[in-house]
Amino acid sequence: MVVIGEHRHTQVTVDLQAIKHNVEMEMARKDPLTELWAVVKANGYGHGILQVAQAAKQAGATGFCVAILDEALALRAAGFTEPILVLGITEPEYAPLIAEQRISVAVGSLDWLQTAEKILTANATPDPIHVHLALDTGMGRIGFQTPADLARTVTWLRAHTAQFDFEGIFTHFATADQSDDTYFTHQVNQWKRLIAAVGELPRYVHVSNSATSLWHQACNGNVVRFGVALYGLNPSGTALAAPYELAPALSLTAQLSFVKRLAKGQSVSYGATYTADRAEWVGTVPIGYADGYERRLQGFHVLVNGQYCEVIGRVCMDQLMVRLPAQVAVGTQVTLIGRDGDHEITLQDVADYCGTIHYEIACGLAPRVPRIYQD
């Protein structure tokens, strides 16, 4: 298989020890009877699904959460035998495959179960599907909203144990990463109202994403879905301080591919939006918006030899230009995310400049940027 980007000096480096550190810190803090399931959806938030899953498992994770069925299948194909929960809705037509691969799925309606039951029966599928009922307590995404609908579904589910294993029940908090807990409290109350309709609870009861476990630990249930904090990123951005040190796992580096002297009055990049007001040295870096380095990062900075260097002119699809403090050799390392000398550029810094969240920046780093793993 050809690795696109292998012959270009641009790479993401993932520190697997940082991943393990973050898991170990959460493991030490949570209740011993509460499991930690590593959320590795979206290719491990851009870090690499299989490598992150392995590191998390080594540090104590006992299960995994993904967003789509194919991510779960990738984990199974790689030999992971732990519970894997697909958090999004999966089409019921794949019910036999779900059962065969022992994958747990989120279910938010009785219709889904009834459709899947017919498909399982028609295919004479021998194994049941592991079901986690999703409760919509205020996220407004998927799940049951009323006690009556939930109770009706639980009754039906318990009458069809040959096709379904009622394994779990869960919800997701929308504002657990905010200092104002008004809406969070509203969701907790909705959760309690809904859960009262269930009767005997299933094996897994879980409400905690990273933010909930960090700042509302009393709500944990018996599983923590450890997501963005797994990667050393604060779920709240800068709004709340984490209760322990999170170790960022990702850095993004490249090398200068071209260095030139720019004369006063010369312009750089598309639209000629930058014009030198004096003679200066300019370096070209082989990364652009096709790699996930946003076009809106014009005017931001990178690190070269431990010094901040401004991104000048528009970021191109595959290249960008930076103003250098002096003539620098071609091949010199450029740090776009990470530490160089006394300075550091974090994913949060990049996200703040772009007016977004660090999740989006990490997930947006393109597959053609090779991932290098350090353990």
Residue 166 pairs with which residues in a beta bridge? 131
Rounded alpha-carbon distances, angstroms, from residue 62 to 169, 196, 261: 17, 28, 55
CATH 2.40.37.10 domain span(s) along the chain: 250-374
| Closest by Cα among 130, 145, 138 to 204 | 130
Tens of pLDDT, residue by residue over 50-67, are 999 999 999 999 999 999
Compute the distance between CA of residue 81 and CA of residue 190 in angstroms, rounded to an integer.
Answer: 34
- Is the pLDDT at 2 greater than 80, yes or no? no
141 annotated to bind ligand: yes
| Closest by Cα among 167, 239, 212 to 36 | 212
> Mean pLDDT throughout 147-152?
98
The identity of residue 187, as a single letter, is Q
Q: Tokens representing 292?
A: 């996930």
Compute the distance between CA of residue 190 and CA of residue 119 in angstroms, rounded to an integer.
Answer: 33
Residue 131 pairs with which residues in a beta bridge? 105, 166
**348 SS3 class:** helix
Q: Tokens representing 102?
A: 């022992």
CATH 3.20.20.10 domain span(s) along the chain: 31-231
pLDDT score, position 179: 95
Strands 10-15 and 371-374, how do they pair? parallel
Compute the distance between CA of residue 332 and CA of residue 235 in angstroms, rounded to an integer.
Answer: 33
Rounded alpha-carbon distances, angstroms, from residue 3 to 7, 45, 51, 214, 356: 9, 20, 17, 38, 30
Rounded alpha-carbon distances, angstroms, from residue 45 to 232, 233, 258, 361: 11, 11, 31, 9
Compute the distance between CA of residue 182 and CA of residue 177 in angstroms, rounded to an integer.
Answer: 12
**What does 39-95 look like in DSSP terms, one character per residue?**
E-HHHHHTT-HHHHHHHHHHHT--EEEESSHHHHHHHHHTT--S-EEE-SPPPGGGH
pLDDT score, position 139: 97
| Closest by Cα among 256, 255, 137, 120 to 187 | 137
Q: CB under 8 Å, gap of 24 or more: what pairs does 338-344 form?
A: 338/13, 338/250, 338/251, 338/252, 338/253, 338/303, 339/251, 340/303, 340/304, 340/305, 340/306, 341/303, 341/305, 341/306, 341/307, 342/306, 343/303, 343/306, 343/307, 343/308
Tens of pLDDT, residue by residue over 241-264, are 999 999 999 999 999 999 999 999
| Closest by Cα among 218, 166, 173 to 191 | 173
> Mean pLDDT throughout 19-48?
97
CATH architecture for segment(s) 31-231: Alpha-Beta Barrel (3.20)
Q: Which residues are catalytic?
A: 41, 270
**373 SS3 class:** strand
> Mean pLDDT throughout 208-220?
95
The DSSP call for residue 135 is: B
- Is the pLDDT at 5 greater than 70, yes or no? yes
- Is the pLDDT at 171 greater than 80, yes or no? yes
pLDDT score, position 1: 58
Q: Tokens representing 48?
A: 């690499």
Q: What confidence tier does 285 reach under pLDDT thresholds 50, 70, 90?
A: very high
- Is the pLDDT at 339 greater than 80, yes or no? yes
Q: Hey, how many other C-beta atoms are within 10 angstroms of the C-beta on 156? A: 14
Rounded alpha-carbon distances, angstroms, from residue 337 to 10, 68, 182, 351: 12, 28, 35, 11
pLDDT score, position 3: 72
Average pLDDT, rounded, for the chain? 97
CATH 3.30.750.200 describes domain 250-374: no
pLDDT score, position 120: 97
